[in-house]
Structure 1
Amino acid sequence: MYEKAWKSLYALIYTIFLLCFPCEVFCETTLSFDEAVSKTLSLSPRLRIAGSEINEKAGAQVQSSLLPNPVAAYSVENVLGNKNWQGWESAESRYEVGQLIELGGKRGFRYQTAKFQYYASQAGFEAKQLSVLNRLLKLFTSVVASQENLQLALDQTRIAEEVYKTVSAKVEAGKVSLIQQNKAEIALSTAQINLEKARADFFKNRERLSTLWGSSYPDFERAVFPFYEIDLPKPIEKCLSDLRENPELLRSQMEHLAAHQNLNLEKSLAIPDVTVTLGYKTLQDTGNKGMILGASIPIPLFNQNQGNIQKARAQTVRTHDQYIELELALENKLSIAHRELARAYMEAEKIRSTVLKAAVQSFELAQEGYKEGKFEYLDMLDSQKTLFEVRERYIQALLNYHQSIADIEYLNTLEEGL
């Protein structure tokens, strides 16, 4: 009866604890890659800046399509003078409206230039997204790799502690010398130092990842990612064909088209515009009234916009050359990343399928044999060292694989940043 009452009391206390302290207080907070992508795309300071640039270009596009405003003017003559022009009796008043008429298709070329600049800003935003996602995948997989290295260091420390206890027991039993205990103690201290280093690397990588969405402190404890799942790389030909859709190339193409339209605009600016005037005139002393009709046009005697045309022509050539240079740079970066991806894939698969299994088996046999007195301490220590070196190399090969994937899936030539 009392036992049943105590169980009920424990259940009540546990329920109250759950209500007072939600799961987040004592549960591990995880972060998936999809969640990191969502946070980065919505909160990245770099992308917010790029989004503002799109709004700027959109405003410029609207402005480029507007007609010049008409000009209203009023003037009065023959007033406040002397003799017959004293006062306002002889006033000659003019009421005029002037309108600039752009010739040569200036407004159309100006609009086309702004339109392609707007398209370039949109493609540039997508290119910066690629740059940010590239960095995100690299930092995210670095966090996962440091997680695995931390777990590896924990395993290494745990095994070193077990070995130290085993050796100490053998020393007390007089089966081995004190030197082996000293070596085991050194191995344990080294493992503990490596553990602290692995923990520091993990914390550092988490903080670097958090800066991508503008946070100075990580709000997660563990990153979730299929780190050990790798696929055979796609053929390089398929990757090169996908390159044609790269937003950086599209941005460069739009910049070239904008430069071409700007050249047309500068050529059209050499054509003089006409200003037409319509007005009304009154003479105070005679009461005469009449219309004013006029037109004016500048004479392009000296300035025919030669310098700006030359400048725009050079910009057109430059943007075309920049497109070719960018295409070559992307192809070169893609080829390098694909070779590194293939190498990392082969290395990781080789370690997983043969080397790691052999290292694990060798260590287990050496550890068991040492306990039974069949192997020397150095044999066990060597097999332990080999096992952890293989695991470290496996983690590094997987990290190289995923970071090469980042350079292929999110290919860009922009500087990495927030």
Structure 2
Amino acid sequence: GGAAEQHGVFIGQEFVRGGKLCLDQAIVAMEVQRAEQQEAMQQQRVVTDVRFAFYDVLVAQRRDETANQLVDIARDAVATATALLAVKDISEADMMRSRIELQSAQLMLKNAGNRYIGAWIRLIAVAGVSDLQPQPLDGDVEQSMERIDADDVLARLVSESPEMAVALSEVERARRVVARARAEPIGNVDVQGVVQSDNGTGSSNANLQISLPIPWLNSNQGGIRQARAEVIAAERAVERLELDFKRRLAIVYQRYANARNQVVDYSADGGILENSRLTLDLARKGYHDGDLSYLDLITGQRMYFEVNLAYIEALGQLWSATVEIDGMLLKGSLGNGDAAKP
């Protein structure tokens, strides 16, 4: 219709300079690494909690067995007292004392059963196996353990803990952010090309445009300073974490050392457990021989009860501290975000 027609092709491409794309990828890579270490932290919390619960069940199992033994001892004492009362060798008051000791032992057995069931419920919860039924566990709470050295544990925490790995990955990410901020002023090259044909004149033309910004008044000083401040903050966080390791380890290691001392002193040859058993045997013999009173027998029996229960509690404390140390102080897998933090 006589109207001029024009058509053409426009092409544009931006060329990123200064290695900014590689730096962006490096930052994201450190964020991925940090997320992986956070996942490793949570996995370690789960393992620690399952081991906590496992040994809690073992200790409760041992407590229940001991409580049954104590009930048998108290029941034998009542039978002896009944026979002696029949021949007027003891008073009604002594008979009542023996019954009270038996009732106390039976109450102890009931409580031990409750603790055993409670320990199993906790194990089922942390293991995430709802159809698991309480059953005897295969384990020995009295197995010998090598002494743990606090300095070795601290060195392991600093070098192997996923918690430290998270903090170090944050330092490295912050350093890469600094490099990215320094590269920011390096302008990208923008290239544009146009090829155009004019049907009205029968001519064609092409244009090429290249633009390159010059960072004359803006060198991204503010962004660089902020990134450097983040590096310093991340490095300080690593230092604080090392101090926090020392603080937390000191608390757990004190529990470990105290419990270990108790277990060793209780279980050693000629230790508290053995002596309490000998005391009970001597009290029984002395009473039957007429050398000791019934009150002496009850006192020896009560001491034997208390020593055995204290020994079991010490075993529980020892395993609790040992598991927490082996788990690099990470626990609380079922807590919320704040509670799960060590």
Of 354-363 and 261-270, deviating more is 261-270
TM-score by length of 1: 0.71
The whole-number CA distance in structure 2 between the counterparts of 1:368 and 1:279 is 113
CA contact (8 A) 1:273 1:297 kept: yes
2:333 maps to what in 1? 417
Q: Which runs of 5+ in 2 are unaligned?
A: 335-342
TM-aligned CA deviation for residue 180 of structure 1: 2.5
SS in 2 for 1:97: strand
CA contact (8 A) 2:273 2:307 kept: yes
TM-aligned CA deviation for residue 219 of structure 1: 3.4
2:340 maps to what in 1? none
1:262 maps to what in 2? 177
2:299 maps to what in 1? 382
- Kindly provide the CA deviation profile for residues 277-320 of structure 1, in whole angstroms up to 9, marking residues without a partner as x: 23432334334333342234456578765554343222111110
Q: Which runs of 5+ in 1 are unaligned?
A: 1-86
2:102 maps to what in 1? 188
Cα 1:184–1:234 shift into 2, 3 Å: closer
> Aligned match of 2:189 in 271, 274, 299?
274
2:337 maps to what in 1? none
Q: Does 1:343 align with 2:285?
A: no
Return the letter of the residue paired with 2:121. E
RMSD: 2.7
The whole-number CA distance in structure 1 between the counterparts of 2:86 and 2:311 is 38
The whole-number CA distance in structure 2 between the counterparts of 1:88 and 1:411 is 85
Cα 1:106–1:198 shift into 2, 3 Å: same
Q: Does 1:352 align with 2:267?
A: yes
- Kindly provide the CA deviation profile for residues 240-289 of structure 1, in whole angstroms up to 9, marking residues without a partner as x: 44344223222221210111001211232233322222343233433433
SS in 2 for 1:277: strand
CA contact (8 A) 2:61 2:116 kept: yes
Of 336-345 and 98-107, deviating more is 336-345
1:209 maps to what in 2? 123
CA contact (8 A) 2:117 2:134 kept: no
The whole-number CA distance in structure 2 between the counterparts of 1:287 and 1:256 is 63
Alignment of 1:8-407 (within 5 A): 89-216=3-130, 218-247=132-161, 248-297=163-212, 305-353=220-268, 354-407=271-324
Return the letter of the residue paired with 2:332. E
Return the letter of the residue paired with 1:267. R
- Kindly provide the CA deviation profile for residues 173-210 of structure 1, in whole angstroms up to 9, marking residues without a partner as x: 43322222322222222222221111111111111122
Return the letter of the residue paired with 2:15. I
Return the letter of the residue paired with 1:227. V
SS in 2 for 1:295: strand
Number of matched pairs: 331
Cα 1:313–1:283 shift into 2, 3 Å: same
CA contact (8 A) 1:130 1:410 kept: yes
- Kindly provide the CA deviation profile for residues 338-395 of structure 1, in whole angstroms up to 9, marking residues without a partner as x: 3433332222111112111110011122234434554322222211111121112212
- Kindly provide the CA deviation profile for residues 111-140 of structure 1, in whole angstroms up to 9, marking residues without a partner as x: 221222233333333333333333333222
Q: Does 1:408 align with 2:325?
A: yes
CA contact (8 A) 2:90 2:294 kept: no
SS in 2 for 1:93: strand
